[in-house]
Amino acid sequence: MEPEKMDENEWSYHGEGNKSLVVSHSKSCVVLRFLKFLPNRNKSSDEVYQHLHNILDFGKHIMKQFLGENFVHQGEVVKLPLDFLKRLCLKIQSERPESRCEKEMDVSGYAMCLPNLTRLQTFPFLECRPIFSIEIKPKCGFIPTSAHITKDIKKKICRFCMHQHLKIAKGKWKKVSKYCPLDLFSGNKQRMHFALMNLLQESQNNLKVFKNGELIYGCKDDQDQFLDLNELAHHLKSFFFPTNGLVSGHQCTKTVLKELIHILTTVLLCNSTDTAKAGNMNPIPVSQGRTYCRGSHFCPELLLSSKNVMETTGLPKGCILYKTLQAQMLDMLDIEGLYPLYKRVEKYLEEFPEERSTLLLDGPYDEIFFERLKDLSLEDDGSIAFAVTKIQQYRVAMTAKDCSIMISLSPALLEERFDPRSVIKGSKSSFIHSVSILDLDLKPYENIPHQYKRDSKIINHYLKSIRAQD
């Protein structure tokens, strides 16, 4: 990227979340990811530079160890000319959804340059072929069992299902999503199918579909947009059934979506060959009762073979869902068990503020930091070291609970010889695929009190609203 040649006309608005805004390049397969700030809360350009580096280091040295080489992509921090940034910021402003505009794009001079994951990464030479990418933000896939939990309901109904009630009440979404992360993470094909169908029907911000890098389905905003399943099926029809003269209509939509869900399930359960370093850590056991949520709309009676539904996770050890779930489960104490440890550290820092850097609370996120994450013991000896280890594990878990999985599919022609592991067979055609994880930002230490308050707010609201229903 040559600074003197930066032309805002080659970049267009791609999407944004709560913390960052993304623009994509029209020709090369890269995106720029900018930080966002509330007006007048901007950081200095040095602070932004440091923060972006921390995010990348956290992805590279920490999250990659948990999630595996193949799934996590590298980026770099780039310096950009200020006049380019000003023009770009103006250019994209009108495309930003209103609900996201309370924060502004950072124009202090630095951004992250990342591969555009809505274009197939593994096979860049196939760029001219159609490509569909499906982004799923799965959220937390297990029920916590920590002894510190004071509200019994948390051990029965998952966070996502409870949070729905608050989101609807606050008007964030109009309709309840019947998606439950525990169905997706179950490894049971019927439950996964049910979860993915519900994600398609009420995507909220948990599912997006891109065609050739452009958003064609899912919420750009918190309002319903692009949400016509018939239209989505229409886009996908010739992709999945190239030779078949499927007529449009209800039956066609059903067939196409079934095919999409089948392929997504296959990819999500696909074993990756790479070895994540954290693979050497003892896996966190997924005990009975942690894999089924009573808030789920899935009826177990629906299961064809109902024997081992609610027992083990059934996720193959190398698949992306398994790895994501293992990282999420580093939250072993739950926020209720963690918050007192945060207060312990805060009290200590009041007395010894200079110790903050030795505790590595703000990084550096390197090998040493990773080594300190490995201790999974839950025996609290009252030490600061124990508290810090649990806090850092919690931050990794929170990142894994908030990341997105991007699955890209492009047609594979019969005569081509690809590594068979990258080919996914549909019923009428084959696809090469790639899977990546994005949004691996570290969650700040300072966020813990906020998380604690939010947890009780979600639970209290849930209990209140089900009492009102009775």
Residues that bind ligand ATP (CB under 6 A): 14-20, 22, 31, 33, 114-118, 135, 208, 402, 404, 438-439, 441
Give the DSSP per-residue string, 242-276: SS--PPSSHHHHHHHHHHHHHHHHHHHTPPP-S--
Edge-to-edge strand list for the sheet holding 214-217: 214-217, 207-211, 132-136, 404-412, 430-438, 423-425
Q: Minimum distance between the CB of residue 263 and Mg ion, rounded to whole angstroms?
A: 23
Q: Minimum distance between the CB of residue 240 and Mg ion, rounded to whole angstroms?
A: 27
Please say which residue, 179 or 210, places its beta carbon nearer to Zn ion: 179
Here's the x/- map for Mg ion, 390-429, by CB under 5 A: it reads as: ----------------------------------------
Please say which residue, 23 or 341, places its beta carbon nearer to ligand ATP: 23
Span from 73-81, 176-184, 239-247, 251-259 in contact with Zn ion (CB under 5 A):
176-184
Q: In Å, how far are 93, 364, 386 from 3, measured between CA atoms?
A: 22, 28, 46
Report if residue 161 touches Zn ion, rule: CB under 5 A.
Answer: yes
Q: Which does 328 bind (CB under 5 to 8 A by kind): ligand ATP, Zn ion, Mg ion, none?
A: none
Q: Are 405 and 375 in contact (CB under 8 A)?
A: no
Q: Minimum distance between the CB of residue 349 and ligand ATP, rounded to whole angstroms?
A: 27
Q: Minimum distance between the CB of residue 327 and Zn ion, rounded to whole angstroms?
A: 19
Q: Are 161 and 181 in contact (CB under 8 A)?
A: no
Q: Minimum distance between the CB of residue 380 and Zn ion, rounded to whole angstroms?
A: 29
Q: Which residues of 4-23 are buried (b: 16+ CB within 10 A; e: fewer)?
A: eebebeebbbbbbbeebbbb
Q: Are 140 and 158 in contact (CB under 8 A)?
A: yes
Question: Looking only at residues 342 through 401 of this chain, which bind Zn ion when binding is defined by CB under 5 A?
Answer: none
Span from 12-20, 74-82, 142-150, 157-165 in contact with Mg ion (CB under 5 A):
12-20
Cα–Cα distance, 142 to 334 (Å, whole number): 12
- Identify residue 165 by its one-letter amino acid code: H
User: Applying CB under 5 A, which of residues 59, 138, 144, 295 lies at the interface with Zn ion?
Assistant: 295
Q: Minimum distance between the CB of residue 183 and Zn ion, rounded to whole angstroms?
A: 8
- Identify residue 12 by its one-letter amino acid code: S
Q: Tell me if residue 181 falls in helix, strand or coil.
A: helix
Find the length of the chain: 470
Q: Which does 295 bind (CB under 5 to 8 A by kind): Zn ion, ligand ATP, Mg ion, none?
A: Zn ion
User: Applying CB under 5 A, which of residues 439, 440, 445, 458 lies at the interface with Mg ion?
Assistant: 439
Span from 14-22, 104-112, 327-335, 375-383 in contact with Mg ion (CB under 5 A):
14-22
Report if residue 17 touches Mg ion, rule: CB under 5 A.
Answer: yes
Please say which residue, 296 or 436, places its beta carbon nearer to Zn ion: 296
Report if residue 441 touches Mg ion, rule: CB under 5 A.
Answer: yes
Give the DSSP per-residue string, 292-358: --TT----GGG-SS-TTSSSS----TTSHHHHHHHHHTT--SHHHHHHHHHHHHHHHHHH-GGGGTT
User: Could you tell me how many helices (H) and strands (E) the chain has, helices first?
Assistant: 13, 12
User: Which tokens is 150 given?
Assistant: 């004071």
User: Applying CB under 5 A, which of residues 158, 200, 256, 388 lies at the interface with Zn ion?
Assistant: 158
Report if residue 106 touches Mg ion, rule: CB under 5 A.
Answer: no
Sign of CA dihedral 142, 379, 67, 18: positive
Span from 3-11, 99-107, 137-145, 158-166 in contact with Zn ion (CB under 5 A):
158-166
Cα–Cα distance, 278 to 272 (Å, whole number): 14
Q: Which does 158 bind (CB under 5 to 8 A by kind): ligand ATP, Mg ion, Zn ion, none?
A: Zn ion
- Binding interface with Zn ion (CB under 5 A): 158, 161, 180, 293, 295-296
